[in-house]
Amino acid sequence: MSKLAVLIIATSLILLTLLPTSCTTSGNDAMNEKVSSQLLSQVNLRKEQLANPTPARLDIMKDMGMSVANLEIQRIFIHLTQELNPAQIAEIETMGITLYLDSWLPPVGNHPTGFLMADMPVNKLADLTKKDYVVRLETAERVLQPQNGAQPQSEQRYD
């Protein structure tokens, strides 16, 4: 079996075992509605790696485009209907989340939300979903592949 096939099977097994448990045991509707499945998977991988480090899981994380320099931090996109006001900024920063305010992209055309990038401690995901002004949370850590059949020129990671 090729290394790629083993990697795909291992990734699938980890995601299948972690994702359903997290979604069903959280009991948090805001979490299920606001958090992308990929972000939830990545946060769970980080937590598992912190609790029980394994080289194989670390390799899977790297292959997914995740930064492994600090496992306690996840880079995310926070989707919002409007730019954060000073009180909201202070509230989020008090949670230990680093906002990259210069990354703000406002809603455009038919897209009802804008977004900005942030670095979030993995243990703050549930707290962030409770903020009524947060519409959606997505990972900002992933290997992007062209969807038009073109070959990628290079993979970029932010370690």
Sort residue 12 into left (φ over 0), alpha (ψ -120 to 50) or beta. Answer: alpha
pTM attached to this predicted model: 0.74
pLDDT given at position 157: 53
pLDDT given at position 142: 79
Residue whose C-alpha is closest to residue 82's, from 18, 134, 144:
134
pLDDT given at position 78: 98
Each of the 159 residues of the chain gets a pLDDT tens digit; together they read 555 545 555 555 455 444 444 444 444 566 779 999 999 999 999 999 999 999 999 999 999 899 999 999 999 999 999 999 999 999 999 999 999 999 999 999 998 999 999 999 999 999 999 999 999 999 999 776 677 776 655 555 555
Q: Where are the domains of the chain?
A: 3-139
pLDDT given at position 23: 41
110 burial (CB, 10 Å; 0-12 / 13-18 / 19+) is exposed
pLDDT given at position 3: 59
Enclosing H/E stretch for 121: strand 114-121
